[in-house]
Structure 1
């Protein structure tokens, strides 16, 4: 995703938080949680959606830099978000192990 896609994602998330979560995490537990939070109140849905997107982009940047985050982000159930969209959580072990 480029800068234009990220801005588009942010605008969608401002209008309808579950669609933003769906675009980053896919259909799963994170989407269901966000739908329920949005029904309970518009603000909790936004907070959760932007948290999911922040984790996704942060992990994606770390993967680009060659860093690996061993700890799972709390409250995030999507492997796609946990890995920053890099291989759905699969990691190639370095040679010699």
Structure 2
């Protein structure tokens, strides 16, 4: 995982997932979790991108 991906996972989790996986179910889940709460979105983004 690159430094840019780590920074994006922390600041903008859906963008980090989108850049690695495109528009798919991973992106939609990340977007939903980020809207529910920032921390679940960050955790999921790290999980998916690792």
TM-score in terms of structure 2 length: 0.92
Hey, what's the Cα distance between the residues in 2 that align with 1:14 and 1:47?
9
Hey, what's the Cα distance between the residues in 1 that align with 2:43 and 2:8?
14
Greater radius of gyration (CA): 1
Which 4+ runs in 1 deviate beyond 3 A?
Answer: none
Hey, what's the Cα distance between the residues in 1 that align with 2:43 and 2:27?
13
Deviation at 1:9, TM superposition (A): 1.1
Paired residue secondary structure (1:27)? coil
Q: How many residue pairs were aligned?
A: 50
Is 1:48 paired with 2:48? no
| Greater helix fraction, Structure 1 or Structure 2 | 2
TM-score in terms of structure 1 length: 0.49
Hey, what's the Cα distance between the residues in 1 that align with 2:40 and 2:20?
18
Q: Note the aligned Cα RMSD (angstroms).
A: 1.1
Gaps of 5+ in 2: none
Gaps of 5+ in 1: 55-97
